Amino acid sequence: MSELSEEKIQSVRDDFPILSRTIYGKPLVYFDNAATTQKPNIVIDAISNYYRNDNANVHRGVHYLSQQATGAFEDVRKKVSTFVNAGSSDEIIFTRGATEAINLVACSYCEPFLNAGDEIIVSVLEHHSNIVPWQFACERKGAQLKVIPVTPDGDLDLNVFEKLLNDRTKMVAISHISNALGTINPVAEIVKMAHNKGVPVFVDGAQGLSHGPVDVQKLDCDFYAFSAHKMYGPMGIGGLYGKTSWLEKMQPYQLGGEMIDKVTFAKTTYNDIPYKFEAGTPNVADVMGLGTAIDYMNTLGWDFITAQENDLLNYATERLQQVEGVKLIGTSANKAAIISFLIDGIHFFDAGTIMDHLGVAIRTGSHCTQPLMDILGINGTLRASMAFYNTRQEVDKLIDAIHRVKTLFA
């Protein structure tokens, strides 16, 4: 890595106040970015600034603060639309995050379009959040959940997927990137295969928007969900992209204020999209944080972000492979900077606890992918997930921590 690159990375790290913390007297090495990314100062400041200077409800008032807040709120919707290349900002719905976006579609789409005997296809790689809502919809409507298997490397078996698609299939719900293995799924190919059968595709992009550019029109997916806190924004906010043709057919997910057009005791009519799906007072401050996070990522640029993360992925993979007794779980040739592994003879909880006391924060457990772990024949893994603000030196500290764990259990 060049000196200039190291200088830029240090400059970027200075933007994130938490990275200067010490844990148990050790400098923090934060490798839990798949669970949540850290927040730069400008995102934190944007949230604080809204409450200090602009706090007002949106779409509700004619006074100055309300109008100002409404304009800023809708500007972020446009910003998200541009970030994912939606056809219109009306196709962007603000939710509490990817999980709520999945539940929205599983409820609002499946209620009118799913019937007894129909089928929904998910994959073995899915996070529980992209399994349980579809499973519940199937149970409610008498439909069946079908599952795409994975190869030993952690790639989806598209030959089986093609066979699963049939006239009864009403939805394919697939992750963009596996949070457990880091596999980047061939979403465009999956969409094309599904659309050839007239089947819509929902993409869980919780990991997708932080690791590389997303063009929903190029992917041609029907729905795409995301969470701000996975992309350097605040918790409690995210969104759903949905094609206008589907959103206009779907019924509201939640009922109350804002999503209405006219209310009488005899009948209520609903607002236009996207407001039809945004009941109640929105999380305006965190929408401001989301918009600022997008600005920050755009300023860094995808060339820097992807180059840095790919370098870390390759370096960490190479170093882990050199450690005796370490087994990588998920070795797809097309991966994001997420590495799952096990240490022979040492429980992942024990290893993770010791590494934490050495200042290295990684994730341990099933990563909300219990069906995947069952199929792999394991209870869980250690997971190191990296971001552009991480460094090769931190990877070295991870390796040192693994050696320390092995020494303690020798």
Q: Which domain holds residue 218?
A: 44-298
Could you tell me the CATH number of the domain that includes residue 120?
Answer: 3.40.640.10
Confidence category of residue 4, pLDDT binned at 50, 70, 90? low
pLDDT at 371: 98
368 given a catalytic annotation = yes
Does residue 145 share a domain with residue 88? yes
Q: Give the mean model confidence (pLDDT) for residues 264-293.
A: 96
Could you tell me the CATH number of the domain that includes residue 29?
Answer: 3.90.1150.10
Task: Tell me which H or E stretch contains 108.
Answer: helix 98-108
Look-up: residue for tokens 């370096």?
315
Q: Hey, which bits of 248-337 come out as E strands?
A: 260-263, 268-270, 326-329
Does residue 211 share a domain with residue 104? yes
Residues paired with 146 in a beta bridge: 121
Q: Are 349 and 389 spatial neighbours (Cβ–Cβ below 8 Å)? A: no
pLDDT at 286: 98
Task: Tell me which H or E stretch contains 291.
Answer: helix 284-300
How far is the first Cα of the chain from the last one, in angstroms, to the nearest whole number? 35
Instruction: Please state whether the peptide bond connecting residue 274 to the residue before it is cis, i.e. omega within 30 degrees of 0.
Output: yes
Q: Which of 298, 320, 350 is the last residue of a domain?
A: 298
Q: Give the mean model confidence (pLDDT) for residues 146-160.
A: 97
Rounded distance between C-alpha atoms, residue 228 and residue 297, angstroms = 12
Confidence category of residue 2, pLDDT binned at 50, 70, 90? very low
Given the residues 110, 138, 221, 368, select the one marked as catalytic: 368
Angle at 305 between CA 99 and CA 301, to 5 degrees: 100
Q: Give the mean model confidence (pLDDT) for residues 217-235.
A: 98
Rounded distance between C-alpha atoms, residue 52 and residue 375, angstroms = 50
Does residue 305 share a domain with residue 292? no
Token couple for 63: 């006074």
Does residue 232 share a domain with residue 185? yes
CB contact set of 23 (below 8 Å; sequence gap of 6+): 356, 359, 361
Q: Which amino acid is at 385?
A: S
Does residue 194 share a domain with residue 224? yes
Diameter of the chain by CA atoms? Answer: 74
Q: Is the pLDDT of residue 237 over 90?
A: yes
- HSE at residue 23, side-chain half, CA atoms within 13 A, is 15
Look-up: residue for tokens 């057919």?
249
Q: Is the pLDDT of residue 138 over 70?
A: yes
Does residue 311 share a domain with residue 227? no
Rounded distance between C-alpha atoms, residue 176 and residue 282, angstroms = 27
Q: Are 28 and 358 spatial neighbours (Cβ–Cβ below 8 Å)? A: no
Q: Is the pLDDT of residue 3 over 70?
A: no
Does residue 292 share a domain with residue 217? yes
Does residue 288 share a domain with residue 328? no
What is the per-residue pLDDT across 388-404, written as a single tens digit (0 to 9) for each? 999 999 999 999 999 99
Q: Are 65 and 194 spatial neighbours (Cβ–Cβ below 8 Å)? A: no
Task: Give the distance from CA 244 to its chain's centroid.
Answer: 22
Token couple for 143: 């439909």
pLDDT at 396: 98
- Number of structural domains, the chain? 2
What CA dihedral angle connects 341, 347, 353 and 355, to 10 degrees?
-40
Task: Give the distance from CA 149 to its chain's centroid.
Answer: 21
Residues paired with 271 in a beta bridge: none
- 222 vs 166, 194, 198, 241, 333, CA distance in Å? 18, 11, 11, 8, 27
Q: Is 166 exposed, middle or buried (0-12, 13-18, 19+ CB in 10 A)?
A: exposed
Does residue 341 share a domain with residue 272? no
Does residue 198 share a domain with residue 63? yes
Angle at 215 between CA 127 and CA 196, to 5 degrees: 75
Q: Which of 261, 279, 298 is the last residue of a domain?
A: 298
Does residue 70 share a domain with residue 33? no
Q: Which of 265, 280, 298 is the last residue of a domain?
A: 298
What is the per-residue pLDDT across 304-331, written as a single tens digit (0 to 9) for each? 999 999 999 999 999 999 999 999 999 9
Does residue 256 share a domain with residue 138? yes
Instruction: Report helix, strand or coil for 385.
Output: strand
